[in-house]
Chain A
Amino acid sequence: MGSRSSHAARIPDVDSLRQETGFSQASLRRLYDRFNALDRTGKGYLSRMDLQQIGALAVNPLGDRIIDSFFPDGSLRLDFPGFVRVLAHFRPVDEEDDGNRDPKEPEPLNSRMNKLRFAFQLYDLDRDGKISRHEMLQALRLMVGVQVTEEQLESIADRTVQEADEDGDGAVSFLEFAKSLEKMNIEQKMSIRILK
């Protein structure tokens, strides 16, 4: 496919991106194609609108929050490296990586902690490093059907926060968040096999 290879040539900084994200050349090429397909007007970056055009996201309760997470700090443009960097969180953890990884290097984007951090920031809207009761409630509202009354929601939110809250400050810090999920196989749950 001629168009593909020409795309590959145009990916900026392929090698450093590969290093950083751990994606294979083929995956990067594929994601680049995807990136360009999403960028319908060919402006070279993605806006929120481009992502919102994906129909399935409109029926995903967390769709908009996930879109937001592609645009850190209120930026309006998403370039390809940024796009890939977010997706890299969902690369499956491969065993051989863990064994011979240099401990001095920063943790790869797809480590357990980084996967958790990605999820955590979806809750932590005000970026204060804590999921407050209010934030928990907001997340619940998104994820629970309308059949549940607000009171029930509040009680669920209370319980959820209490359950994870260890220092008694009425909010869930990242460490508490990670701890509450320590039994869960995050590596598997937060990985997409196509993103090898």
Chain B
Amino acid sequence: MLGRWAPGPGWGVLLALLLALGELPRARGVEEEPGDAHGGTQGFQVVTFKWHHVQDPYIIALWILVASLAKIGFHLSHKVTSVVPESALLIVLGLLLGGIVLAADHIASFSLTPTVFFFYLLPPIVLDAGYFMPNRLFFGNLGTILLYAVIGTVWNAATTGLSLYGVFLSGLMGDLNIGLLDFLLFGSLIAAVDPVAVLAVFEEVHVNEVLFIIVFGESLLNDAVTVVLYNVFESFVTLGGDKVTGVDCVKGIVSFFVVSLGGTLVGIVFAFLLSLVTRFTKHVRIIEPGFVFVLSYLSYLTSEMLSLSAILAITFCGICCQKYVKANISEQSATTVRYTMKMLASGAETIIFMFLGISAVDPLIWKWNTAFVLLTLLFISVYRAIGVILQTWILNRYRMVQLEIIDQVVMCYGGLRGAVAYALVVLLDENKVKEKNLFVSTTIIVIFFTVIFQGLTIKPLVQWLKVKRSEQRDPKLNEKLHGRAFDHILSAIEDISGQIGHNYLRDKWSNFDRKFLSKILMRRSAQKSRDRILNVFHELNLKDAISYVAEGERRGSLAFIRSPSTDNMVNVDFSTPRPSTVEASVSYLLRENVSAVRLDMQSLEQRRQSIRDAEDMITHHTLQQYLYKPRQEYKHLYSRHGLTADEDEKQDTEIFHRTMRKRLESFKSAKLGINPHKKAAKLLKRDRAQKRRNSSIPNGKLPIVSSLQDFTIKEKDLELSDTEEAPNYDDEMSGGIEFLANIAQDTATDSPSGIDNPAFSPEESPGVLSGVPPWLCPGEAVVPSQRARLQIPHSPGNFHRLAPFRLSGKSVDSFLLADGPEEQPHAAPPESTHM
């Protein structure tokens, strides 16, 4: 391979020609290109054609380009991609391309080599899976996942291998040079469900979260079992059947524990290192994302080097580091990591499937044995089904969330085989395993069958199983509305009744994490902001601000603030009034202007008209579109191709804001001893209703309404400052703080937070207290610090969005300052923003 990098042009071309006949990915281009260069002299040439010089990387880049273009092509037609999984399309494309190459070259020049697969294509996919793993769900179901991954895989391998051997003995397969151990070896490599294939297919089939995590987790974790079984049987085959002793079997079992636990340990160690390193990258932000990739890749290579389970290592590296890394690195780096990881994984997956197709077009590897192929297909399906049913039967006695028949069907059917099996089978040594080619062709058939056929049919199957009784009837408004309400109720009740168990262990762990791990692995600033709801709130605000500014930029100016018609007020609710003394603030002035600007009578009239004309259909449509979705419907746990959809976050943001606002109001009323269901609550509701109407409908009566409203608010304030002491208040209040902190914790698990936000850690910056808007002062007198803590971020009534706080993104800073300049100086944080 020396010639590839040889400097001399003439030499190089000659060498390239020689090499073209040699091994590895060779270009078709070689044959068309070199005619003129061939006769090149040794003298100086102005332009030289140095194909050889770039050959390998060039070909790789071209393949990636082809695969990516193909992906674009697939998605041009929504119909195709909604029916056929992408992985199946890619395999078919690979077959076609392979056919073309074969027709042109007469030998199959390209194939997926195990080295490339295991060293370059698999790691990004698995790292991506680990890094974006929904941890809570994963560990909540860890027992189940492990059972399926370990026992299930051993069961599949053993039964498939033994049954095939049994049939072989009966003579149905004809004359083959295979022994029992070869069958078991084959069984072990064909047994494992493949993470790449499973993800590619399940991504498009939206099954419930528990089911998803079980199938997904199983496919990731069974790698250790596969590797061990594969290694054990391979060495047994090498030894020869008669020389295998009981000691070797025991060693095999021991090696399973060593390989799996060792791999996991390596992963955890590297996760620890990675978290620790990112803690100190404050001044080298630009290479921060690099650490994530390099260190996790090293974990993979290290465990490969120690012949431990590399997949487990990199999976657990991703799982364990995600929390700390996300907290440590800057927001930009976090985004970079996210996108790069998705890009690498998605690209690797595309290439894998395409090359699976291409590799299959090679006359040399095909050795057909109908009985063997068909029986393999039969056995892997049947034994998987039996295995799943047996294990589920056992598991359901212990599981809180029962796995029902439908789930089991999906689990059986989701047992897709993929590139891991292919790479392993190609790795076999032909001298030891005489029927290697038969194994290879059977494996390819199995992969194609599971990915294409099962992949195609699993979606209709899931739909068919779920929608058992499809009624052709338009639901009535009531049904639609209440139906959605039921969904929300159910998900709330699930949360309350503790859908996912293991609370005790989780509490212990989070205690340990808070006391030790986070202290070591997280920046001090990140530690602070993590435990607070303020951080969550800050993030929400930041998002609001960004969308707000983006909207402004889209329109060329920020002038739209003044005419807040509802459709451009994405989340931003500036126009809620701030009563009494803050008149001077900019936002107040802006709002005052609003009433004048809003009187665009014509558009107003139009809108009214259209609403008056609105048919039921429109109403239905509106509901359909804007009713909040319950959690199950929108929460995609893990997606290779997409990052979390904006919509969901927006919804969460909205509801979160609303809920918090309401709770704060009820704190207030609880403090006063007024039953929240009665007077105050009603008053507040009326008040809010007015505000809402005020904010969202530009109508002519605005001035009257707002004066009315001011009145109401004053009345409310009077009432609130009425009584000072109430029973239970302190109790509730401290609970409230705890509650806020806890929410922050809970929410923080799924929201990446790379923000240092000192202004939001109230304990450390007492100066914030004086930044409380003056109109809050009456209440302040009672328990100053606590109330202040509660009310800085979300003042009741208007929630005080976009209140002054330090942003780590500088671009929006100045804009935000405009909203509350009077408070900014007080909020000066002890630590400056980092960049």
Interface residues, chain A, CB within 8 Å of chain B? 3, 30-31, 33-34, 37-38, 40, 47-64, 66, 68, 70, 74, 76, 87, 90, 118-119, 122-123, 125, 138-152, 155-156, 159-160, 163-164, 177, 180-181, 183-184, 186, 189-190, 192-196
Please tell me if the beta carbons of A90 and B493 are within 8 angstroms of each other in the complex. Answer: yes
Distance in Å: Cβ of B40 to nearest Cβ of chain A: 68
In the assembly, what is the distance between CA of A181 and CA of B482, in Å? Answer: 8
Which 3 residue pairs of A and B lie closest in terms of their CB atoms, listed nearest first?
A55-B746, A49-B735, A34-B498
A195–B619 CB distance below 8 A? no
- Is the CB–CB distance between A57 and B495 below 8 Å? yes
Interface membership of B593, Cβ < 8 A: no
Decide yes or no: A138 and B611 within 8 Å by CB, A58-B660, A183-B479, A194-B400 being known contacts: no
Does any Cβ of A come within 8 Å of B627's Cβ?
yes
Distance in angstroms between the alpha carbons of A42 and B337 in the assembled complex: 42
Which residues of B from 480 to 514 have beta carbons under 8 Å from A?
A: 481-499, 501, 503-504, 507
Q: Which residues of B contact A163 (CB under 8 A)?
A: 476-478
* B580 interfacial contact with A, CB 8 Å: no
A60 to B493, CA, bound (A): 11
> Which residue in B507, B627, B631, B736 is a CB contact (below 8 Å) of A143?
B627
Which residues from B are CB-within-8-Å of A48?
732
User: Which of B101-109, B254-262, B651-659, B802-810 touches A?
Assistant: B651-659
0/1 string, B324-357, CB within 8 A of A gives 1: 0000000000000000000000000000000000
Known contacts: A64-B659, A146-B571, A189-B486. The answer to whether A151 contacts B651 by CB under 8 A is no
- Chain B residues near A68: list those with CB within 8 A: 677
- B611 x A160 contact (CB < 8 A): no
Specify which of A37, A56, A141 lies most central, judged by the most chain B CB atoms within 10 Å of its CB. Answer: A56
Bound Cα distance from A152 to B620, whole angstroms? 11
Q: Does chain A have a CB within 8 A of B44? A: no
Residues of B636-695 contacting chain A, CB below 8 A: 650-652, 654-656, 658-660, 662-663, 675-677, 685, 689, 692-693
- Check A53–B738 contact: CB distance below 8 A: yes
Could you tell me if B476 and A56 are in contact, using CB atoms closer than 8 angstroms?
A: no
Give the distance in Å from the alpha carbon of A142 to the alpha carbon of B693 in the complex. 14
- The yes or no answer to B628 lying at the interface (CB within 8 A) is yes
Residues of B close to A193: CB separation below 8 A: 401-402, 404
Complexed CA–CA distance, A66 and B689 (Å): 21
Choose one: B478, B504, B746; the contact of A56 (CB below 8 Å): B746
Are B742 and A55 within 8 A (Cβ)?
A: yes
Contact of B503 among A34, A47, A90, A140 (CB under 8 A): A34
Given known A-B contacts A53-B739, A144-B623, A148-B622, A156 and B492 have beta carbons under 8 A apart = no
Give the distance in Å from the alpha carbon of A74 to the alpha carbon of B679 in the complex.
13
Instruction: Let me know if B658 and A142 touch, CB within 8 A.
Output: yes
15 A–B contacts, CB within 8 A, in A order: A33-B503, A55-B745, A57-B495, A59-B655, A60-B631, A61-B488, A62-B492, A66-B496, A74-B676, A87-B497, A123-B485, A143-B484, A147-B626, A159-B477, A180-B479
**In residues 722-755 of chain B, which contact A (Cβ within 8 Å)?**
728, 731-732, 735-736, 738-739, 742-743, 745-747
CB nearest to A142 among chain B residues: B658
Contact of A144 with B479 in the complex, beta carbons under 8 Å: no
Cα–Cα, bound, A151→B739 (Å): 35
CA distance A164 to B481 in the complex (A): 12
Q: What distance in Å separates the Cβ of A69 from its nearest Cβ neighbour in chain B?
A: 9
**Chain B residues within an 8 Å CB radius of A122:** 485, 489
Given contacts A152-B614, A160-B477, is CB(A58)–CB(B497) below 8 Å?
Answer: no
Residues of A within 8 A of B569 (CB): 146
B611 A143 Cβ-Cβ under 8 A? no
Q: Tell me if B616 is interfacial: C-beta within 8 Å of chain A.
A: yes
B238 CB-CB contact with A under 8 Å: no
Evaluate whether A184 and B479 lie within 8 angstroms (CB atoms) in the complex, with A66-B493, A144-B623 already known: yes
Quick one: which of A47, A52, A58, A149 has the most chain B CB within 10 A? A58
- Could you tell me the distance between the alpha carbons of A140 and B607 in the complex, rounded to whole angstroms? 20
Find A160's partner among B478, B494, B651, B696 (CB 8 Å cutoff): B478
CA distance A146 to B654 in the complex (A): 8
Q: Which residue of A59, A139, A155, A196 contacts B659 across the interface (Cβ within 8 Å)?
A: A59
B566 in contact (CB, < 8 A):
yes
For the complex, is B251 an interface residue (Cβ under 8 Å from A)?
no
Secondary structure call for the B interface = helix
Contact B489 A52 (CB under 8 A): no
Residues of A near B656 (CB, < 8 A) are 58-59
Q: How far is the CB of A189 from chain B (nearest CB, A)?
A: 5
Q: Could you tell me if A145 and B654 are in contact, using CB atoms closer than 8 angstroms?
A: yes
Q: Which B residues are CB-close (under 8 A) to A148?
A: 566, 622, 626
Contact A30 B489 (CB under 8 A): no
Chain B contacts to A: CB under 8 angstroms: 400-402, 404, 471, 473, 476-479, 481-499, 501, 503-504, 507, 566-567, 569-571, 573, 607-608, 611, 614, 616, 619, 622-623, 626-628, 630-631, 650-652, 654-656, 658-660, 662-663, 675-677, 685, 689, 692-693, 696-697, 728, 731-732, 735-736, 738-739, 742-743, 745-747
* CB pair A51 B488 closer than 8 Å: no
Question: Are B611 and A155 in contact, with the CB atoms below 8 A?
Answer: yes
Question: Is A62 a contact of B652 with CB atoms below 8 Å?
Answer: no
Residues of B within 8 A of A64 (CB): 659, 662-663
C-alpha spacing A40/B739, complex, angstroms: 11
Contacts of A31 in B (CB 8 A): 497
Measured CB to CB, the closest approach of chain B to A137, in angstroms, equals: 8
Rounded to whole angstroms, the CA-CA distance of A30 and B504 in the bound complex is 12
User: B571 to chain A: which residues have CB within 8 Å?
Assistant: 146
Cα-based distance from A37 to B566 in the complex (angstroms): 42
Find out whether the CB atom of A51 lies under 8 angstroms from the CB atom of B496: yes
The chain A residue sitting closest to B608, CB to CB, is A151
Find out whether the CB atom of A47 lies under 8 angstroms from the CB atom of B735.
Answer: yes
Residues of B near A56 (CB, < 8 A) are 491-492, 495, 631, 746
Tell me the complex Cα distance, A150–B660, Å: 21
CB of B778, distance to nearest CB on chain A (Å): 24
With A and B bound together, what is the CA distance between A86 and B503 in angstroms?
A: 21
| Contacting pair A63 B659 (CB below 8 A) | yes
> Which single member of B477, B486, B614, B736 contacts A190 (CB below 8 Å)?
B486
In the complex, what's the smallest C-beta–C-beta distance from A171 to chain B, in angstroms?
A: 13
Contact across chains for A53 and B742 when beta carbons are under 8 A apart: yes
A150 and B564 CA atoms in complex are apart in Å by 14
Hey, which chain B residues are within 8 Å of A181, CB to CB? 478-479, 482
Q: In the docked arrangement, what's the CA distance between A48 and B731, Å? A: 11
CB contact under 8 A between A119 and B655, given known A147-B626, A160-B477, A160-B481: no
Q: Would A194 and B478 be within 8 Å (CB), given that A59-B655, A143-B485, A143-B627 are in contact?
A: no
Check if A119 sits within 8 Å of B485, measured CB to CB: yes
Query: Whole-angstrom distance between the alpha carbons of A49 and B476 in the complex?
Result: 37
Nearest CB in chain B to that of A183: its residue:
B479
A150 in contact with B696 (CB, 8 Å): yes
Q: In the assembly, what is the distance between CA of A151 and CA of B618, in Å?
A: 13
- Would B675 and A195 count as touching, CB distance under 8 A? no
> B478, A55: Cβ atoms under 8 Å?
no
- B467: shortest Cβ distance to chain A, in Å? 12
Interface centre among B485, B569, B570 (most CB of A within 10 A): B485
Q: Are B494 and A192 in contact (CB under 8 A)?
A: yes
Chain A: CB-nearest residue to B507: A37
Residue contact A189 to B483, C-beta cutoff 8 Å: yes
A195 CA / B493 CA spacing, docked (Å)? 10
Per the bound structure, the CA–CA distance linking A143 and B625 in Å amounts to 11
Complex contacts, A37 vs chain B, CB 8 Å = 498, 503-504, 507
Nearest-neighbor residue (CB-CB) of A71 within chain B: B677
Given contacts A146-B566, A190-B490, contact A52 B663 (CB under 8 A): yes
Contact partner of B493 (CB less than 8 A), chosen from A3, A139, A151, A192, is A192
Please name the residue on chain B nearest to A140 by beta carbon.
Answer: B481
Query: Smallest Cβ distance from A18 to chain B, in angstroms?
Result: 16
Tell me which residues across on chain B come within 8 A of A143, comparing CB atoms: 481, 484-485, 488, 627-628
